[in-house]
A and B are shown apart, each in its own frame.
Chain A
């Protein structure tokens, strides 16, 4: 095979982010959906260093929630804490609950978590080139997640693996099942990882920058198949990315993270179109796609002043105050959460934590 199907199909279109997926958000007064994931007061520490603080959010059935923020803001840690896959020496406290399971997951045994992982909750990681075992055939790696959770016996699992590989858009799934990862392109490998994640119809799919490592032309195709897989299963999705345009097309709601805290949350149109928190404002300005794309001189973007401090070196009070042009004395206190509008998923679903939100200066 000389060209990958990803490239062949991707080349026909041209803008990767816009064309990906368009969807209508839930009608405002739809009946309340079941809450699939609840995270409450999640703190994560490495030794005495606090990496996450008081992270609280929930995701409902069929809801796709984005998690954005600069590098080092704690997005991956949030995902790993939910999955119970934090590295040795990193500890989490707080509460994580999954629909249908009474036990709180942070305190659950490894045995219990293993039963949930890959079955009720699944994860797709950033780097497809290294996510698969190089010495095992792809088909077996997919089938394993079925046999592990006794969804199917060995033979049925092998058959089902081929079906799943077909469902994620891999041409000639039979041949793919028989190949080793190094025989596939990055896009194809990420499809395999998606097939593994979706195999047991999870309630929750966590994606940590699933397309960042892929060719621009392949990104949208892979995004599309992930979103379709999630939609077909009416699963909840937590979607981590740097790319605001991707959030806008994939997610209904978004969480903005900085310094290990969620600083703003809400429907994508509100948060990205009319940000309240000063950090979100900077983030949106720094990725002003319209201006970057269309401006005749391609004006440079406004970047957020300064750098993200290393873990544990964020200021107390508002974690953003050493980079914020609007900071005042009051910002030395931790800003309280201000709910914005009413959201069916509760007051943490939409709001911000800032003393001087965007627009507040005009009233003075």
Chain B
């Protein structure tokens, strides 16, 4: 078990290293001189030279890469090229905002999808199961930003139950925090819940056909008891796989939804930095996003080990 974990951790480290090279290389092959791009086409040659000098853009690529990676690892990210604002504190703040958003959306999606998906499976021959299934099909097709716009139109504009956007940190005012978190989290969660519910449905249907569920019934467990005690843990293996993938897509979805709700998260940060042509900041944010996805994958693998003893303990 520990050996497997160690091996997977090693794989994670190697993937992170490879990803950092790719991200760095990608930024290098973008056309144009990054310093001039950042300062604008009309900037003076002296200003460009000064920027190159200040940020060491003349050094060999390998040295620049090592310098950047070292900064990322130690969270010593320096300042932005043009605005000269320190990068690390902004990154941490915005990561926290996106973290709240993504995790709330994921938890919400799970809380909806697990019971609904199970219900869809258990009642798949009945009208209510089929109806839920059809609704989830529609839910899958609605993109998060559209859900966001619809939610704003009704809940923020027409009925004014929620603010239409913005952000208040939880420490500052917990009530305002929750009010502002609600709509964007729901718009992200709806699609994910629909998708997840469909996966839960098929995983539970699969498990319902298993012999050990019949054994459980033969032992005197009622159908729902058999399913919850013996089925759900087994159904969890495929569901966790999907969860990992969904967390990754949620991160991407957050970029757009943060725009719609004017939330200062990582997504807005990325878009702002692209607009301001702060290449080093863009590079660092992309690296953080990629690292998040890789780490989620690693965690998914770890959860497998916890769920399925066949991966954990060998034969006697």
Binding site for B on A (CB under 8 A): 1, 83, 85, 88-89, 110-111, 114-119, 122-123, 125, 127, 130-136, 144-145, 148-149, 175, 179-180, 182-184, 193, 196-197
B217 within 8 A of A: yes
A125 CA / B313 CA spacing, docked (Å): 26
What residues of A have a CB within 8 angstroms of the CB of B316 in the complex?
Answer: 1, 175, 179, 183-184
Is there an interface contact between B217 and A145, defined as CB atoms closer than 8 Å?
A: no
Is there an interface contact between A148 and B211, defined as CB atoms closer than 8 Å?
A: no
Given contacts A89-B125, A110-B223, A136-B230, contact A127 B310 (CB under 8 A): no
B309 within 8 A of A: yes
Number of interface residues of B (CB under 8 A): 26
Given contacts A125-B211, A134-B234, contact A183 B219 (CB under 8 A): no
Is there an interface contact between B220 and A85, defined as CB atoms closer than 8 Å?
A: no
Interface membership of chain B positions 200-213, coded 1 if the CB is closer than 8 angstroms to chain A and 0 otherwise: 00000000001110
B10 within 8 A of A: no
A-B contact pairs, 29 of them (CB 8 A): A1-B316, A85-B214, A110-B222, A111-B222, A114-B217, A114-B220, A116-B220, A117-B220, A118-B218, A118-B220, A122-B218, A122-B219, A131-B211, A133-B212, A133-B230, A134-B212, A134-B234, A134-B308, A135-B308, A136-B230, A144-B219, A145-B220, A148-B219, A175-B316, A179-B316, A182-B309, A183-B313, A183-B314, A183-B316
A183 CA / B217 CA spacing, docked (Å): 23
Q: Which residue of B lies closest to A116 (CB)?
A: B220
Given contacts A118-B220, A122-B218, contact A131 B212 (CB under 8 A): yes
Main secondary structure of the interface of B (DSSP, over half): helix
B315 within 8 A of A: yes
What residues of A have a CB within 8 angstroms of the CB of B222 in the complex?
Answer: 110-111, 114
Is there an interface contact between A196 and B219, defined as CB atoms closer than 8 Å?
A: yes
Is there an interface contact between B217 and A117, defined as CB atoms closer than 8 Å?
A: yes
Interface membership of chain B positions 117-136, coded 1 if the CB is closer than 8 angstroms to chain A and 0 otherwise: 00000000100000000000
Binding site for A on B (CB under 8 A): 125, 210-212, 214-223, 229-230, 233-234, 307-310, 313-316
A216 CA / B215 CA spacing, docked (Å): 24
What residues of B have a CB within 8 angstroms of the CB of A180 in the complex?
Answer: 309-310, 313
Given contacts A123-B218, A149-B220, A180-B310, contact A135 B125 (CB under 8 A): no
Q: Report the minimum CB–CB distance from B241 to chain A (whole Å).
A: 16
Counting from the closest, the 3 A-B pairs by CB-CB distance are A118-B220, A118-B219, A130-B211
Is there an interface contact between A127 and B230, defined as CB atoms closer than 8 Å?
A: no
Given contacts A111-B222, A114-B222, A179-B316, contact A134 B310 (CB under 8 A): yes
A297 CA / B222 CA spacing, docked (Å): 55
What residues of B have a CB within 8 angstroms of the CB of A184 in the complex?
Answer: 316
What residues of A have a CB within 8 angstroms of the CB of B221 in the complex?
Answer: 114, 118, 144, 148
A13 CA / B305 CA spacing, docked (Å): 42
What residues of B have a CB within 8 angstroms of the CB of A133 in the complex?
Answer: 212, 215-216, 230, 234
- A134 touches which of B216, B217, B309, B314 (Cβ 8 Å): B309
Is there an interface contact between A145 and B210, defined as CB atoms closer than 8 Å?
A: no
Given contacts A85-B217, A180-B313, 5 further A-B pairs with CB under 8 A are A115-B220, A119-B220, A131-B214, A133-B212, A183-B315
Q: Which residue of B lies closest to A135 (CB)?
A: B233
Q: Report the minimum CB–CB distance from A202 to chain B (whole Å).
A: 11
What residues of B have a CB within 8 angstroms of the CB of A111 in the complex?
Answer: 222
Q: Report the minimum CB–CB distance from B278 to chain A (whole Å).
A: 49
Among A122, A148, A179, max chain B CB count under 10 A is at A148
- A135 touches which of B211, B214, B234 (Cβ 8 Å): B234
Is there an interface contact between A125 and B220, defined as CB atoms closer than 8 Å?
A: no
Given contacts A134-B310, A182-B315, A183-B316, contact A127 B211 (CB under 8 A): yes
A89 CA / B212 CA spacing, docked (Å): 20
Is there an interface contact between B220 and A148, defined as CB atoms closer than 8 Å?
A: yes
What residues of A have a CB within 8 angstroms of the CB of B315 in the complex?
Answer: 182-183
- B212 touches which of A83, A118, A132, A175 (Cβ 8 Å): A132
A193 CA / B212 CA spacing, docked (Å): 10
A117 CA / B234 CA spacing, docked (Å): 23
Among B212, B234, B316, max chain A CB count under 10 A is at B316
A197 CA / B214 CA spacing, docked (Å): 13
A115 CA / B225 CA spacing, docked (Å): 13
What residues of B have a CB within 8 angstroms of the CB of A127 in the complex?
Answer: 211
Among A119, A145, A193, max chain B CB count under 10 A is at A145
A91 CA / B210 CA spacing, docked (Å): 21
Among B212, B313, B314, max chain A CB count under 10 A is at B212
Q: Report the minimum CB–CB distance from B206 to chain A (whole Å).
A: 13
Is there an interface contact between A145 and B219, defined as CB atoms closer than 8 Å?
A: yes
A182 CA / B314 CA spacing, docked (Å): 8
Q: Report the minimum CB–CB distance from A200 to chain B (whole Å).
A: 9
Among B211, B218, B221, B229, max chain A CB count under 10 A is at B218
A231 CA / B20 CA spacing, docked (Å): 70
Q: Which residue of A lies closest to B213 (CB)?
A: A133
